[in-house]
Amino acid sequence: MYNESLEKKYKEFDEYIENVKNKEDHLSILLKAQDIFGHLSKEVQNYISQKLGASEVEIQRLVKNNRLKERPIGEYDIRICTGFHCTRKGYAENLEEFERLLNIKSGEITKDGKFSIYTSGCIGGCRKAPVVSVNMENRYTDVTKEDVKDILNRYK
């Protein structure tokens, strides 16, 4: 399927990469690519590795270690921890409440692009599980089903 918008993004990235003086600064290049594409899908990561002559594994490692976006996310990316302690303390009830209030399922984005919900491995704060993170910056601990609406209201 032909996607003119995506083709323009590849062209913009190609023009950018032609003018980069230090092609060894892979992280800066990945950050710029994320700005252009919105996220770094596996396809985009592979394209970048070819353009830079870097291994796909190195590019994937940089993306993961620097928590770059690998898939489209909302303006407010809600991560529900599914680690051991959060599982024991009932993260599933919180996830269901987020899904109900936002009318989306985990892995989806609201129609207005404002919120996305993803489950995640441990995000820290295990002693105060269950834990929810928004944009990997704001962490909420000891979250109950009743807290979910208050968390969302902070970002509306």
What is the pLDDT at residue 132? 97
Identify the CATH number of the domain in which residue 118 sits.
Answer: 3.40.30.10
| Domain presence at residue 71 | no
Q: Are residues 105 and 146 in the same domain?
A: yes
Last residue of a domain, one of 40, 65, 90: 65
Q: Is the CA virtual torsion 35, 39, 44, 48 positive or negative?
A: positive
| Domain presence at residue 111 | yes
Mean pLDDT of 55-63: 94
Q: What domain range includes position 119?
A: 76-153
Which amino acid belongs to residue 30? L
| Domain presence at residue 126 | yes
Buried b (16+ CB within 10 A) or exposed e, 114-131: ebbbbebeebebbeebbb
User: Both tokens of residue 22?
Assistant: 């230090």
- Which candidate, 29, 73, 34, 71, places its Cα nearest to that of 54? 29
User: Both tokens of residue 144?
Assistant: 């109950």
| Domain presence at residue 70 | no
Q: How many distinct structural domains can be found in the chain?
A: 2
Q: Are residues 54 and 98 in the same domain?
A: no
Q: 55, 26 in Cβ contact below 8 A?
A: no
Q: Are residues 87 and 109 in the same domain?
A: yes
Q: Are residues 83 and 146 in the same domain?
A: yes
Q: Are residues 114 and 140 in the same domain?
A: yes
Q: Are residues 81 and 148 in the same domain?
A: yes
What is the pLDDT at residue 1? 42
pTM given for the model? 0.69
Mean pLDDT of 78-84: 94
Residues 5-52: tens digit of each pLDDT: 889 999 999 999 999 888 889 999 999 999 999 899 999 999 999 999
* Per-residue pLDDT at 105 exceeds 80: yes
